[in-house]
Amino acid sequence: MKHKLLNFTVLIEQDEDGVYVARIPNIPGCYTQGKTVEQAMERIREAIQVCLESDMEEILPMKFIGIQQLEVKA
């Protein structure tokens, strides 16, 4: 069985409690958390594997272009 390498963009944010939340924007529901960035990255790798194994349709990474922050008055 031939394996192919896939590159996914990982978005990491820190919540109000200091926990790092990692998610894959183009895989709905693929996210995890950790006490450190390193721990979140280890866990998101595992989460990606689970998502890829359980998803019926093929998931292909999207090309990363950039990230912007936008401030909005609420």
Contact assessment for residue 40 and residue 33, using Cβ atoms and an 8 Å cutoff? yes
The answer as to whether 1 is a domain residue is no
The answer as to whether 37 is a domain residue is yes
The answer as to whether 3 is a domain residue is no
The total domain count for the chain is 1
Question: pLDDT tens for residues 24-66?
Answer: 998 989 999 999 999 999 999 999 999 888 866 677 788 888 8
The answer as to whether 65 is a domain residue is no
The answer as to whether 6 is a domain residue is no
Contact assessment for residue 15 and residue 8, using Cβ atoms and an 8 Å cutoff? no
CATH number at residue 30: 3.30.160.250
The answer as to whether 60 is a domain residue is no
What's this model's pTM, rounded to 2 decimal places?
Answer: 0.78
32 forms beta bridges with 22
- Give the residue ranges of DSSP H helices in the chain: 37-54
Structural domain boundaries, residue 15: 11-54
Among candidate residues 61, 59, 19, the one with its CA nearest the CA of residue 40: 19
